[in-house]
A and B are shown apart, each in its own frame.
Chain A
Amino acid sequence: MTFPHRHLLGIEQLRPEEITTILDLAEEYVALNRGDKKHSDVLSGLTQINMFFENSTRTQASFELAGKRLGADVMNMAMQASSVKKGETLIDTALTLNAMHPDLLVVRHPHSGAVDLLAQKVNCAVLNAGDGRHEHPTQALLDALTIRRAKGRLHRLSIAICGDIAHSRVARSNIMLLGKMENRIRLIGPPTLMPSGIEEFGVEVFDNMDEGLKDVDVVMMLRLQKERMDGGFIPSEREYYHRYGLDAEKLSHAKPDAIVMHPGPMNRGVEIDSDIADDINRSVIQEQVEMGVAVRMAAMDLLARNLKGTA
């Protein structure tokens, strides 16, 4: 198994076989996590620092659990409350961190490209836990693992990504990953929430759910941020739900065995109907959370092997 990267900054830098490598290893960790002894020592002696410059409960918990299960010493730094507010630059932060000798650095930042910038300045392996509207690679990887387990393959599937594409790093990473694995990607959403030039990404674009969902294997819903709901990008929450919220009627246009995904946290009654979200035959949303821990364990394991030169 080779994974020739120092950092995991985005899906953009990964080759298809490297994606498969991560997913295969993650499968092993799914098994470990479901067993009695949920522990391994592959990161034993290593220090993992989670730096979140933007609020996150789920992703941070997932990375923390992943690190702890692999035996790393995990520290969380809530950067919103720290010296960043006092005008310390990202570079200063990087220099401070270097002095602490971490091995793995998990970073989320509200600005696109900020994690790349930090990675250039620190001496350890950096995992991007989401930067602005740019990338969220571990989310795309956990989505891929979920799809592969549910569908038995990760190629030649028709996959719809629905909602606020423009502001979504999850969408960007997924478009790249699913495209690299040779799937057919459809983007569905109001035109005000579509990024410009998106057609050039090798995707099909729809502004109508019924047409867009026709015969798809996978329906990925995206979270609509509250601050985008009132008049700026869409007229109202209720009109959005009416036109783009996933309900049984809209889902009936997809294949009968289509799965429903959501990166969470969900706005029930805005982008997704509660009945769909909780339908154990269709929704794999809980499974996504489980895969998240396994994928992050796999990613950190691979990066740590490079650190130790045992890859």
Chain B
Amino acid sequence: MTLPNRTLFTNARLIDPEAATETLGSLLIEDGMIVAVYDAAATTDESATVIDCVGKYLAPGIVDIGVKVCEPGERHKESFRTAGQAAAAGGVTTMVTRPDTDPTIDNPETLEFVIRRAREAAPVHVHPMAALTKAREGREMTEIGFLQDAGAVAFTDCDSVIVDTKVFSRALTYARSLGALVIAHPQEPILSKGAAVTSGKFASLRGLPAVTAMAERMGLDRDIALVEMTGARYHADQITTARALPALERAKANGLDITAGTSIHHLTLNALDVADYRTFFKIKPPLREEEDRLAIAQAVASGLIDIISSMHTPQDEESKRLPFEEAASGAVALETFLPAAMRLVHADIIDLPTLWRAMSFNPASLLGLPSGRLSVGAPADLVLFDPNAPFVMDRATLKSKSRNTPFDGQRMQGKVIATYVSGNKVYGT
């Protein structure tokens, strides 16, 4: 007789990012938790529902730091329901949401609203981040303590850089006393003001306002100095240029509490993809040169860059159908995250366990979440997928309310077959 909450996955390629292994085995879940992992491929369990995963891969669900859900304020672009469904379809079992909404999530009341909406509507785990300064204006710090008590897992002003270093250093100092994680956007704000693309031949050809890649290194250098000064826990949201990497490496070698992320778009696209002013390729920071993309991908493979995020940013058609300079930045990515990441695997730049370390284990560890693991006692947040299944991306099929994906019409490989959150199937047949 089978127990309702007991499922056995057999004959699966198990990706364990913690142990850095990819093995053939079986995995037993019960009541939302992983209760056993077997080396043997074919195990039977009479009391469990058995799912034969032959030829498929089973991995911890993706933990995505930096998802923009447009609640409150812009539900016509994305709601917790649509974002949650998109996440489920993309194998993302935990969304860590951004506070750059309208109004900003910068007080406990708004945060509680968000948590309540997420619980009602999203089929995946949601952990909200809160702003570090009020209205993300870089002037006064938010109630970091109250927000932390209310459930904020990190503090960030998103792509708005705190220009005033006094404000930023005090916020870092205060956050340190609470053990709060601060996530910042390393970018020299004045140099990058008004820029739509990265400077270089292509930007000049298209006549678009551009920013030098050096602005990222300058921003990172400044932030590293402030972290050294304050001892805060710091995560750089997106490192996208080769020139920023030595500074990051030095900071880590010096023992600072620094981690870094990058976006899936910066790992798979480059500046030339903008082509004839295609605004779906306008993101922030802008897409970089191919050499930068390769250097960043290598840095993820080596572990220098800890985390890959989708930086899911829904924009409606009206915000994108504008001249390039005026068009809104950002791209949706929850549903294309996994197949896009597979490009790095298929290009032999990175192996699956290392990739899952950056997409699941590392972000969970950074935020102190129990997920991101394939070990006994971890939550049964799982993604079952076929890394080789080919398809042509059609944006009309996206579950996201906004469909501003740069991958529309592109050939991709890697399909999510099923997604489980706390043992419940939230996507798949």
A: residues with CB less than 8 A from B are 12, 89-91, 109, 111-114, 116-117, 131-135, 166, 169, 172, 195-198, 200-201
Contacts and interface: CB of A to CB of B under 8 A. Distances in A.
B291 to A, nearest CB: 13
Contacts of B321: 89-91, 117
Contacts of A12: 205
Interface string B304-323: 00000000000000100111
B199 A112 contact: no
Residue among A89, A112, A135 with most chain B CB within 10 A: A112
B277 A196 contact: no
Contacts of A200: 201
14 contacts: A90-B322, A90-B323, A111-B326, A112-B206, A112-B207, A112-B323, A113-B206, A113-B323, A117-B277, A132-B323, A169-B207, A172-B204, A196-B212, A201-B205
B120 interface: no
A196 B326 contact: no
B390 interface: no
Contacts of A197: 199-204
Given A90-B322, A91-B321, A196-B212, A116 B204 contact: no
Contacts, number: 71
B182 interface: no
B209 to A, nearest CB: 8
Nearest to A200: B201
A266 B321 CA distance: 36
Contacts of A133: 207-208
A275 B178 CA distance: 72
B199 A196 contact: yes
A201 B202 CA distance: 10
Given A113-B277, A117-B277, A172-B205, A196 B200 contact: yes
Contacts of B203: 195-197
Nearest to A194: B204
Contact of A201 (B201, B206, B212): B201
A132 B325 contact: yes
A109 B323 contact: yes
B318 A89 contact: yes
Contacts of B206: 112-113, 134
Nearest to A169: B207
Given A133-B207, A166-B204, A197-B200, 14 more contacts: A12-B205, A90-B323, A111-B325, A112-B325, A113-B208, A114-B323, A117-B277, A117-B321, A134-B206, A169-B207, A172-B205, A172-B207, A196-B204, A201-B201
A196 B207 CA distance: 11
B155 interface: no
Nearest to A167: B207
Interface in B40-76: none
A195 B318 CA distance: 31
Contacts of A113: 206, 208, 276-277, 323-325
Contacts of A166: 204
